[in-house]
Amino acid sequence: MAEVTAQMAIERRSKPLSLEANFAELKRRLSEIYDLNAAKAVLTWDEATYMPRGGAVARGRQAALLKRLEHERAVDPALGRLIDLLEPQADKLSAAAASLLRIARRDFERAIKVPAEYVARVNAHSSASYNAWVLARPANDFATMAPFLEKTLELSREYAAFFTPYEHIADPMIDEADEGMTAAKLQCLFAALRDELTPLVRAICAQPPADDACLRRAFGEAEQIGFGLSIAAQMGYDLERGRLDKTRHPFCTRFAKGDVRITTRVNADHIGDALFSTVHEAGHAMYEQGVDPAFEGTPLGKGILSGMHESQSRLWENLVARSRPFWEHYYPRLQETFPGQLAAEPLESFYSAINKVEPSLIRTDADEVTYNIHVMLRVDLELKLLEGTLRVKDLPEAWRAGMQADIGVAPSDDRDGCLQDVHWFFDRIGGEFQGYTIGNILSAQFFAAATKANPDIASEIARGRFDALLGWLTDNIYRHGRALKPDEIVMRATGSPMTMAPYLAYLRTKYGELYRLPAH
């Protein structure tokens, strides 16, 4: 009897399933991966917000387990067979289903090329390196970090080798972060951008510096958080499907379409920190909240990393929340919230304070104009390290020389030099930084296209209204999730491939006026 049942089960299994049944099975498998990923994100969010320190060890173990389960499902040969089965029939699927299949293939191929044994080695090294960096940076101790960095470089090269053939050794890492981008394209783009930005920075620095003392006063924490959150909500961050909490390093995280959270940090002596980081993270969150709900639980149901996502946080942070029309509406409200600190401060001086340009040592504190120069220096050094044309031991000096040449200031120590960013000490070398500048370039390109389609956007912003802008961004970018490639989104939304012309025009107009520069 048992044998007969087993035989029947085999026959039933081997009978080819319909296209619909196979597709449903694909979605079921992908949704498990999505949920395991989201469950791990909840643990990470909790760790960064409320977890008592005593929870660290158990939390690390629990997160590692979820990560392993997710990886096992992501590389399951049965998932690969399903994708193989469905691909020849892709033309019978809807456009969304075909996109899902394309992304499932991309994610699967990436996952299976990287052996589990390598992932385990990288994870162990990353946490050891990160723990060493936490102590070495304040101690200005590059010597301790150099062997870690050597090992990270070796692991990054090993990672690239899983994806041969490639043109440049950084290409697999860059493409993973920004699909379609390569080292060659980046070098070309960045060389042109550097040529335009360095004279602009020089011209600005030849002018009297802006006074930003009005930002550096004592501002109550609860008022800062409340003001930032009310702005985020008015912009369109839906608090029925989101929330804001405090953390050390602000981030946005998505658990589901109905739960996209942001975090912020508060500096009691500087009003800019919490305000702009809240708006920045809300920009990421509005992108996630705007994804077509039909994609929920699939790999399409998220925004595109990394430059595309960054373009949205920066669009809201810089093009909207550092603009004059925005503060024409909100500055009186900010003054009401902080009368003791700002009542006597005119709008113009506040506006020039939040847009102060100044060569500085630290990327995360840099202004809109010099920020990209910091990023380009890192990308440049990353590529050279991977190529083998720069040795780890020469990194501190190369960093200082690059800073001096491009920004005009050089750090006196490594703490404010090559030890300042966590990226290389926690993750791979390569693909880590370019997204910030791609995001800046795209933010202006999207904003220009939105304003062209809806010329009232600026006057709406001046009235504290964001419907037209958010509507355009949702229609043209957010709702697509990962269904379109980044290039396709840019092309469809703006009518042209990525171009830095709108970004340069934006910077020249805004800072030309602020610093009274001669017209370009």
Q: Nearest to Zn ion by Cβ — which residue?
A: 313
- Could you give the CA distance from residue 352 to residue 354 in angstroms, rounded to a whole number? 6
DSSP 167-181: SSTTHHHHHHHSTT-
Q: How far is the CB of 204 from Zn ion (least distance, A)?
A: 24
> Which of 228, 241, 337 lies closest to 272, judged by CA?
228
Q: Which CB sits closer to Zn ion, 313 or 355? A: 313
- Could you give the CA distance from residue 322 to residue 436 in angstroms, rounded to a whole number? 17
Q: Which CB sits closer to Zn ion, 37 or 313? A: 313
Active site (catalytic) residues: 281
502: tokens are 């709108």
Q: How far is the CB of 281 from Zn ion (least distance, A)?
A: 7
Q: Which CB sits closer to Zn ion, 152 or 313? A: 313
Which residues are CB-contacts of 254 (< 8 A; sequence separation ≥ 6)?
A: 38, 41, 260, 261, 285, 288, 302
Q: Which CB sits closer to Zn ion, 171 or 367? A: 367
- Could you give the CA distance from residue 289 to residue 134 in angstroms, rounded to a whole number? 34
> What's the one-letter identity of residue 72?
E
- Could you give the CA distance from residue 348 to residue 516 in angstroms, rounded to a whole number? 14
Q: How far is the CB of 310 from Zn ion (least distance, A)?
A: 5
Q: How far is the CB of 309 from Zn ion (least distance, A)?
A: 7
- Phi, psi for residue 255 in degrees, rounded to 5: -100, -30
Q: Which CB sits closer to Zn ion, 277 or 341? A: 277
In 114-238, which ranges are continuous DSSP H helix? 116-136, 142-161, 171-177, 183-205, 221-235
Q: How far is the CB of 337 from Zn ion (least distance, A)?
A: 25
Burial of residue 51 (number of CB atoms within 10 Å: 0-12, 13-18, 19+): middle
424: tokens are 């290389």
- Could you give the CA distance from residue 199 to residue 486 in angstroms, rounded to a whole number? 30
Q: Which CB sits closer to Zn ion, 284 or 400? A: 284
Q: How far is the CB of 237 from Zn ion (least distance, A)?
A: 14
How many CB atoms within 10 Å of residue 358?
17
> What's the one-letter identity of residue 437?
T
Which positions touch Zn ion (CB under 5 A)? 313
DSSP 366-385: --HHHHHHHHHHHHHHHHHH
> HSE of 153 in the Cβ direction (CA atoms, 13 Å)?
20
Q: Which CB sits closer to Zn ion, 197 or 285? A: 285
Q: Which helix (H) or strand (E) holds 394?
A: none
Note whether 516 and 207 are within 8 A (CB). yes
Q: How far is the CB of 433 from Zn ion (least distance, A)?
A: 12
